Structure 1
Amino acid sequence: MSPAAQPQGVFVLAPDAESRWVPFDFTPGNQLRFSLTIDGRPATAILDTGVSYSVLSRRFADAAALKVMAGGSATAIGGLVPIGWAATRDVSFGALTRQGGGLAVATLPALATGSTEPVDLLVGRDLTARYALDIHFEARRFRLLPSGRLPFRGRAAPLSISRDRMVYVSQATLGATHLRPMIVDTGDGSSITVTSPGWQAAAIDNVRTTTTISFGLAGTVTSTIGIVPSLRIGELVARNVEVRIEPPRGFSESIDAAGRIGTGFLQNYRVLLDPGAGRMILSPGRKADLPPLRSTSGLLFGIDRDRLRVLHVMRGSPAAESGWQEGDMICRIDGQPVPRNYGTLPLATWSAGKPGRTVALGLCDGRERMLTLREFY
């Protein structure tokens, strides 16, 4: 049975919701990771407004001895994903407790977060949309408030829950075209994603592009990436915006969306998502409108304990021109071993370092290769 046909449970928001902040950190895939409890068990979760029904990992469901019923399949980045459904006693985080109801169940691969450690739950629209979701990116915390609350001022944009896909949606203007619906997707670590027809309709000249990859539950997808001078979302005009262009008939087209607004964009603001009040509020942070960090190496990695696995070599990059391949393994950077907490250290910034710098990369087979950084998009 579909999760939509299952009991939704009883929602209780504590009266002191304003003080019930939930701290989070960022996964290597730039998603918001935090802790909660499921039936009294501690679990890790990602805040994912691009998911209609929260998804529990099959691994957690098995460990908790939850009875999983077959539920068909769901559309995700990379293709279709088989899902099930499991009843739960309660789910609790911040000021919110949901009693009863249940969760969709699927395999949640670690690669979807860019990490070696998978999470237990994707917290989706079904758990959050009744409330105003206040995300304070600079403080790395969020909270759920009664809908209609306005805890800070900023630029307003329309926000609703789509009737067909049941996810958060807004709209944007890029170049010569108006894009809607745009899924507001906190589970997407990239910035702005648009369809191939949407990019063509925008007709923006003189944007240098390269390739990158996106991670989804069903696998990885290669897309084109560039930086545009400006983008409008409601009252907000954002500058120097990174935009990904999906291949023809990509994920967004398959679900009749114009694209996605991801965490890579939202993290430049304090954000209030309140579909009940019909609004998204964006208050610029210190990094708003600054040129985004861009790769000068052309290597995109997955962290595999004490080594880096090359997942993609960007088109036209120094790495592409010097023969790097997907699957190459790096164990040392300028003589330093790759530590297990690599993603949290200054060492990890080398791949977007100053153009002209030459980096010595030690492969795990003992060879060493030199790579000179430069701008290429």
Structure 2
Amino acid sequence: MKLSLLKSSLMSLLLVLQGCGEAPRTSGEDILERCLEAAGGREALSGLHVIHTVDSLSMAGMSGISESWWVREPFTGLNVTELGPVRQEVLIREDSVWTVDRNGHLSPGGIEERDQMELSRMTVFYDYLLNTALASPGADTLLDGVTAVSVTLKDHPNVVFYHSREDWLPVMMRAATMGIEVRSYPGGYTDIDGIMTPSYSVSIIPALGQTMETHNLLTEYNVPVPESIFVLTSGTADWSLEGQGEEYPVRIMGEHLYLDGTVQGQRVNILLDSGAGATVLDSALASRLGLEGTGRLPASGIGGTREFSFARVDEYSAAGAVVRDQTLAVMPLADQFYSATGQRIDLILGYDFLSRFATRIDYGRETITLREPGTSGIPEEGASVLHAERSMGLLSVNAVLEDSVPVRLIVDTGAGGNIHLTPSFFDAHPGFLAGRPTFDTEMEGIGGTDSIAGFRVSTVTLGDYKVPGGLCSSFDGGEILSGFDGILGSGVLSRFAVTMDYDSGLLILQPSSLFETGMPETLTGMGLEIREGMLRVRSVVTGSPAERAGLREGDMLVSVDGAPVSGEDLHGITGLLPDREDVPVVLGIRRGGDETGLELVTGRLVP
């Protein structure tokens, strides 16, 4: 599951939507020069040294305020956005960027914040107009009946301004942040100190179905900068860690990690998911605890997009850590995932939790260990240390498939399987599947079910280790994952004791007791789910042992080699099925009102 709040990036982009003037159709440099003159002229724009803005915001049923300060030399910027219960701060100081998330946690900026920094450097003080080498006018286009010329930033081709041919003021700005397109429509231009400034803007995020309205309350140029304004107001320590370095048990079930914890003192079942950009509370549990959600925002993930709200939680705990005064995402979890997992999930531990610690997961020992951030406790023997990039609250690392194909993969403890590759990967490697046997199946995610194609990858290299790639898949992933090649799931991660240190930007791998074997590979080709307390065949892979045995979608599995099974055996079924190829097993099936036995001979889904 991936949760993305685009407000601070969006506000920085909105800030640069300032005017241009009228000119006949002529060369690109002349167009940019006339835009410069219309915005206020070279002298006025070159003389800009400080910008201060305050804007009101409304989005997803929430309202708020955004305030920004910018200084040209040395280049410094601060954006503070408060929207409903959510507060986020971004500080830029020359070549560094820092953020404070909605729960007051201070951390270095990730990929999108650094992109925002570079974009702001070019646009906030109109450098892209003052230096015509930074932008390139392009073709005309028709926008709502207005002919507009496009102006693209050369170093940021995903950022395009559209200026009206009638008055040369911007009528739209289109930008992409980590694959998510934002379209902003400014208007109501006014002259402030000789510089044309929009008084409002409507911004649309098509992929998420969201609209944000911004109204300027104050714009000031070249005013004194308050003392100590460029300081982030991170919260005081909102967590405590008892027994630092102690091991706590986790349960591996269906290639997912579960552990016990509490929310508001109530015992809960937790899914540990480094692929979740936020910690998520089940909506039914929130209701029982009397927590009221605010807003309606989209969460993008495998299978599509779901809506979530925010709720304030006094305290939750897991693995010896207690975290206090948190704003958590809220959406249905327990009922949503029970049929596919057999687990009623009360809480998903994501970025909000994991980023506060150096977290070690030993899949072989089935334990989790937390340490203070920046104290990874790197084992000396057999450890491989990988640089981990952070983006949207997710960690990603470089890997190599089959000794020759470099990939950037999100580290996702919440994803079953080995490696799931995005359309962006196949756009860059169109021949990767040529000659490989494939099969069609499904993957369950936060947004529902996604159809995927399965295939085998011989090896994946992570740092100093090369391990079998095993069964992998291609999946849609949506626009939010378009900046990555894929997801690194538990099938590969289980071969290691994995340490994730967000503060230091490190992923540390050491072989676990599962290093040689990994997790069991499916040898049947049938997908099961719980339906009315029984095991229902949800899917049958074409050409698989399950199809050859005669299984059909909708069959009820009632026994394995004569041993009765029910919905409670969803995870235990693996132990009843053979773990080797070419082994026969009799499956008791109820189809309609009849029961029958089908002999299935185990085998690989693809060579």
- Scaled by the length of structure 2, the TM-score of the pair is 0.56
Residue 336 of structure 1 and its aligned partner are, at CA, apart by: 2.0
Aligned to 2:399: 172
Listed as ranges, the matches of 1:360-375 within 5 Å are 360-363=587-590, 365-375=593-603
Give me the whole-angstrom Cα distance separating, in 2, the residues matched to 1:121 and 1:44: 7
CA distance in 1, matches of 2:578, 2:513: 23
State the shift of 1:237 in Å: 1.7
Paired position in structure 2 for 1:251: 478
Whole-angstrom CA distance in 1 between matches of 2:424 and 2:326: 40
Partner residue in 1 for 2:87: 5
SS at structure 1 position matched to 2:551:
coil
Cα deviation, residue 344, structure 1: 5.0
TM alignment of 1:252-331, pairs within 5 A:
254-290=481-517, 293-304=520-531, 306-331=533-558
Taking the TM superposition and a 5 Å limit, the aligned residue runs for 1:185-196 are: 185-196=412-423
1:22 maps to 248
Match of 2:384 among 145, 155, 176: 155
> Secondary structure of 2:238's match?
strand
Q: Secondary structure at the match of 2:341?
A: coil
Unaligned stretches of 5+ in structure 2? 1-61, 63-82, 89-101, 105-236
Q: Structure 1: where are the runs of 5+ without partners?
A: none
* Secondary structure of 1:13's aligned partner: strand
Ranked by relative contact order (alpha carbons within 8 Å, sequence separation 6 or more), the top structure is: 1
1:1-377 to 2 correspondences below 5 Å? 1=62, 5=87, 7-8=102-103, 10-14=237-241, 16-19=243-246, 21-28=247-254, 30-110=255-335, 112=337, 114-146=340-372, 147-153=374-380, 154-162=383-391, 165-175=392-402, 176-180=404-408, 182-199=409-426, 200-201=429-430, 203=432, 207-246=436-475, 249-251=476-478, 254-290=481-517, 293-304=520-531, 306-339=533-566, 341-345=568-572, 348-350=575-577, 353-363=580-590, 365-375=593-603, 376-377=605-606
Q: Report the residue type matching 1:171 in the other structure.
A: N
- Matches of 1:179 and 1:240 in 2, distance apart? 13
Q: CA deviation at 1:185?
A: 0.8
Contact 1:26 1:33 in 2 (8 A): yes
Two-structure CA RMSD over aligned residues (Å) = 2.6
- In 1, Cα distance between equivalents of 2:330 and 2:274: 17
Alpha carbons of structure 1 residues 292 and 140: separation in structure 2 relative to 1, 3 Å: closer
* Cα drift, residue 188 of structure 1: 0.9
Identical-residue share of aligned pairs (%): 22
Distance in 2 of aligned mates of 1:33 and 1:327 = 28
- 2:460 partner amino acid: L
SS in 1 for 2:594: coil
Q: Normalising to structure 1: TM-score of the pair? A: 0.88
What do the CA deviations read for 1:144-187 (whole angstroms, capped 9, x no partner)? 1122322424122221321xx2212212222443212x211111
Q: Answer whether contact 2:421 2:487 (CA < 8 A) is retained.
A: yes
Q: Deviations over 1:119-142 (max 9, x none)?
A: 111110111113211111112110
Distance 1:234 1:252 in 2: 28
Give 3-state SS (helix, strand or coil) of 2:497's partner.
strand
Separation in 1, partners of 2:368, 2:519? 23
Residue aligned with 1:65, SS: coil
- Could you say what secondary structure the match of 2:473 adopts? strand
Offset, 1:358: 4.2
Kindly state the Cα deviation for residue 253 of structure 1 after the two structures are TM-superposed: 6.5
8 Å CA contact retained: 2:362, 2:512: no
- The total of aligned residue pairs comes to 370
One-letter amino acid of the counterpart of residue 137, structure 1: Y
Q: Any conservation in 2 of the 1:11–1:96 contact (CA below 8 Å)?
A: no
Q: Equivalents in 1 of 2:499, 2:289: separation in Å? A: 34
Report how far residue 83 of structure 1 moved.
Answer: 0.4
